[in-house]
Structure 1
Amino acid sequence: MSKNRYKVLKSLNEGIKIPSEIANETDIRLNHVSALLKDLKDHDFVLCLNENDSKGRMYILTETGKTVLNILQ
């Protein structure tokens, strides 16, 4: 797992967040955060709570994501 994927998971461990909040906390560009979130969602590590919204999408860790994060810490 990449360093940036780990940062995104760690940020989401604090609760529900939108991509811009994650980008600000992790110092990763917003477009890269969005790509990382898509990849993490495809692997069932994160869940988008409002998938149909084009702006303000909210993400949360899944149980799988929490398990992976605990293993990596």
Structure 2
Amino acid sequence: MDEIEIYKLLGYIKISPYRTETLKAIDNELKMPSEIAREINVNTSQVSAALSDLKKKNLVVCVNEEVRKGRLYKSTDLGKEIIKKL
């Protein structure tokens, strides 16, 4: 991914404090939306919406999509690169 695309993604993430804080909270760990919500002190629904946005941009991935409860998310290589720039 070239530098211009990286900056576009950074702008997209920084425009939303929920996306920014959600991505930072995941960092290099496996986390559930409820854990992230507690950590950044927002509603789980806001974290879920942010995770959906981040997933569409290939910044996070759900490692156990088949389960209904207890889904775990981690950052992708691109997500890790973006986290360094936040």
Q: Extract unaligned runs of 5+ from structure 2.
A: 1-12
Runs of 4+ deviating beyond 6 Å: none
Of 37, 53, 56 in structure 1, the residue corresponding to residue 70 of structure 2 is: 56
Task: Note the C-alpha offset of 1:14.
Answer: 4.6
Contact 2:27-2:80 at 8 Å conserved across structures: yes
TM-score normalised by length of structure 1: 0.92
TM-score normalised by length of structure 2: 0.79
Which has the larger Rg? 2
Identity within the alignment, %: 42
Distance 2:21 2:78 in 1: 16
Correspondence for 2:3: none
Q: How much is the aligned-residue C-alpha RMSD, in angstroms?
A: 0.9
Correspondence for 1:6: 20
Q: Number of aligned residue pairs: give it.
A: 72
Distance 1:41 1:48 in 2: 8
Q: Extract unaligned runs of 5+ from structure 1.
A: none
Amino acid aligned to 2:57:
H
